[in-house]
């Protein structure tokens, strides 16, 4: 557990962390292209005494600890969302993007942990690798970092991530170690492109209407849960975009129609079966209407799995450090159907996920009006530090 000296040092970082968070919040970037965010984080890490290493185009890693032994990974994601911010914060984003998922908070917490770990580096019983990751929202960042050897040099033995969450009925700053097993669903983004034959609205018989075809495909996809997958299996298939025709062209049958959506599952065999059936349905329904259909799975990630032993250890360690009154039980049934690309790492090493209550509002993540409480910044930095230091001692 953290010593009183370490806790006091963490508390002394509060104002610095608030300023860091506000800078990140006001200057969000998305996807894998985070040049300004990376430059800012890199400058902070250098000022703390680290030598940051690139991990792919936009990832950064640093290592704390001088003694040989095990290595523990701490992950913080840095990317924002393509959402126009609608809060009244004096440091709100004005560039059309927003940290509506709290990644500015995560990055700041991990920078706080970096400073704590550097200050007490001589006390580490091994090494801590800190990963500042891009591209979580597009489910690509972890894969890129893995491909660029984030789990090597030094070899990583275990790891954890934090995510801030709004929970009405819980108090800001409460900490929620999550249970072992599958904690979050896999996710696959997909596009279904339907090609027909455009024509005049008065003569549909001379055309092949792609909107009609797409509607039949949409309806058929809903039958997957009703007739093809057992009721004991949980999955979610959502079409979030449906595009066909051009605004103002109501008298024209378009050439193409496109649907975009997400598929979320809890088991890899169900994930594979559904993807195969989606392709077969789309192609054959289109063929029946003399059209063509192509299903493209653009990007995705596997389930986020918590290692049972590590998760139990993290809960015990955090309870000892923060006190039982600050530890909350998960109020939602798990696994969650939301996704987290840290899952790619969770299938390679033992990992744990910790949630921190950062809002008591009844507003979900990805909402343009969500506001996170900066009181959690120091708490999160302590959660990161305590987990890594305690595990290395173990």
8-state DSSP, 27: S
Q: Which of 267, 301, 335 is the last residue of a domain?
A: 301
CA distances from 378 to 13, 184, 211 (A): 7, 26, 52
Q: What is the mean pLDDT of residues 242-252?
A: 94
pTM score of the predicted model = 0.94
Provide the 8-state DSSP code for 327.
B
Cα gap 36→32, rounded to integer Å: 12
Is 290 in the same domain as 347? no
For residues 275 and 309, membership in a common domain is answered with no
The pairing of beta strand 127-133 with beta strand 175-177: unpaired
Distance of CA 339 to the CA centre of its chain: 6
Q: Is the pLDDT of residue 58 over 90?
A: yes
- Give the separation between CA 306 and CA 347, rounded to whole angstroms: 9
Distance of CA 55 to the CA centre of its chain: 18
Q: CB within 8 A of 210, min separation 6: which ones?
A: 194, 195, 196, 244, 254, 255, 256, 257, 291
* Whether residue 84 is found in the same domain as residue 146: yes
* 364 and 257 within one domain: no
33-37 own/partner pairs: CB under 8 Å, 24+ apart = 33/57, 33/58, 33/134, 34/58, 34/78, 34/79, 34/134, 37/78, 37/79, 37/107
Picking from 22, 6, 188, the residue whose alpha carbon sits closest to that of residue 93 is 22
* pLDDT recorded at residue 154: 96
Q: For residues 8-27, give the mean pLDDT.
A: 98
Averaged pLDDT for residues 234-243 = 95
Dump pLDDT digits (tens) for 203-224. 999 999 999 999 999 999 999 9
36 & 164 share domain:
yes
Q: Are 59 and 141 in contact (CB under 8 A)?
A: yes
The whole-number pLDDT of residue 334 equals: 92
Q: Output the pLDDT for position 90.
A: 97
The dihedrals phi and psi of 55, each to the nearest 5 degrees, come to -130, 90
pLDDT surpasses 90 at 371:
yes
The answer to whether 79 and 29 have CB atoms below 8 angstroms apart is: yes
Q: End of a domain among 301, 318, 353?
A: 301
Q: What band does 267 get if pLDDT is binned at 50, 70 and 90?
A: very high
- State the pLDDT at residue 88: 96
User: Quick one: pLDDT at residue 124?
Assistant: 97
Total structural domains in the chain? 2
> Taking the CB of residue 203, how many other CB atoms lie within 10 A of it?
9
- Among 301, 328, 359, the domain-final residue is 301
- Long-range (24+ apart) CB contacts under 8 A made by 20-23 are 20/44, 20/107, 20/108, 20/111, 21/104, 21/105, 21/108, 21/374, 21/377, 22/91
pLDDT tens for each residue of 107-141: 999 999 999 999 999 999 999 999 999 999 999 99
Q: Residue 297's domain spans which residues? A: 186-301
- Tokens 């489910």 correspond to 139
- Tell me the three state secondary structure of residue 165: strand
Q: CATH number, domain at 237? A: 3.30.70.360
**Per-residue confidence at 376, pLDDT binned at 50, 70, 90?**
very high
Confidence of residue 1 (pLDDT cuts 50, 70, 90): confident
Does the structure show a pLDDT above 90 at 323? yes
pLDDT tens-digit map of 159-170: 999 999 999 999
Same domain, residue pair 286 and 375: no
Whether residue 19 is found in the same domain as residue 166:
yes
Evaluated on CA atoms 320, 323, 325, 326, the torsion sign reads negative
Q: Is the pLDDT of residue 23 over 90?
A: yes
pLDDT of residue 107: 98
- 129: β partners: 63, 73
Residue 226, pLDDT score = 85
* Axis crossing angle, helix 268-288 with helix 210-221, rounded to the nearest 10: 150
- 40 and 98 fall within a common domain: yes
Compute the distance between CA of residue 165 and CA of residue 102 in angstroms, rounded to an integer. Answer: 8
pLDDT digits (tens, 9 = 90+) for 78-99: 999 999 999 999 999 999 999 9
pLDDT-based confidence at residue 225 (cuts at 50, 70, 90): confident
Is 231 found in the same domain as 157? no
Same structural domain, 11 and 94: yes
Lowest mean pLDDT among 100-109, 244-253, 309-318, 381-390: 244-253
Q: Strand pairing of 127-133 and 256-265?
A: unpaired
pLDDT class for 56, splitting at 50, 70, 90? Answer: very high
Nearest alpha carbon to residue 75 among 150, 160, 182, 18: 160
Could you tell me which residues come within 8 angstroms of residue 153 by beta carbon, excluding any fewer than 6 positions away?
none
pLDDT of residue 37: 98
Q: For residue 256, give the nearest of 207, 210, 294, 293 by alpha carbon.
A: 210
Return mean pLDDT, the chain. Answer: 96
Q: How far is C-alpha 13 from the chain's CA centre?
A: 26
Query: Average of pLDDT values for 231-260?
Result: 94
Strand-pair partners of 81 = 98
| CATH assignment of the domain containing 315 | 3.40.630.10
Do 350 and 257 have their domain in common? no
**204 and 116 in a common domain:** no
Residue 67 predicted with pLDDT over 90: no
Report the residue count for the chain: 394
């Amino acid at each position: 557990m953290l010593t009183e000296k370490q806790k006091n040092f963490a508390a002394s970082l509060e104002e610095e962390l608030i300023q860091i968070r506000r800078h990140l919040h006001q200057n969000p970037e998305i996807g894998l292209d985070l040049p300004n965010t990376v430059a800012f984080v890199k400058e902070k890490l250098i000022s703390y005494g680290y030598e940051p290493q690139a991990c792919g185009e936009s990832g950064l890693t640093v290592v704390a600890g001088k003694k040989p032994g095990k290595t523990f990974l701490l992950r913080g994601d840095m990317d924002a969302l393509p959402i126009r911010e609608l809060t009244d914060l004096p440091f709100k984003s004005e560039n059309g993007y927003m940290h509506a998922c709290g990644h500015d908070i995560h990055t700041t917490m991990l920078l706080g942990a970096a400073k704590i770990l550097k200050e007490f580096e001589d006390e580490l019983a091994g090494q801590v690798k800190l990963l500042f990751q891009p591209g979580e929202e597009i489910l690509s960042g972890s894969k890129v970092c893995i491909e660029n050897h984030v789990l090597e040099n030094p070899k990583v033995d275990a790891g954890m991530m934090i995510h801030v969450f709004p929970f009405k009925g819980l108090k800001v700053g409460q900490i929620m170690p999550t249970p072992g097993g599958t904690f979050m669903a896999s996710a696959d983004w997909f596009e279904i492109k339907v090609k027909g034959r455009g024509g005049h609205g008065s003569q549909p018989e001379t055309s092949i209407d792609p909107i009609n075809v797409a509607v039949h495909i949409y309806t058929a996809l809903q039958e997957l849960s009703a007739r093809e997958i057992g009721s004991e299996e949980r999955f979610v298939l959502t079409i979030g975009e449906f595009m066909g025709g051009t605004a103002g062209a109501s008298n024209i049958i378009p050439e193409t129609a496109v649907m975009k959506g997400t598929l979320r599952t809890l088991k890899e065999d169900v994930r594979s079966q559904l993807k195969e059936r989606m392709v077969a349905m789309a192609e054959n329904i289109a063929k029946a209407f003399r059209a063509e259909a192509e299903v493209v799975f653009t990007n995705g990630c596997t389930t986020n799995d918590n290692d049972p032993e590590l998760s139990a250890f993290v809960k015990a360690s955090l309870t000892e450090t923060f006190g039982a009154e600050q530890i909350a039980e998960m109020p939602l049934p798990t696994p969650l159907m939301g996704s987290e690309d840290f899952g790619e790492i969770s299938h390679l090493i033992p990992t744990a996920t910790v949630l921190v209550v950062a809002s008591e509002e009844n507003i979900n993540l990805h909402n343009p009006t969500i506001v996170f409480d900066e009181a959690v910044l120091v708490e999160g930095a302590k959660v990161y530090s305590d987990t890594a230091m305690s595990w290395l001692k173990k």
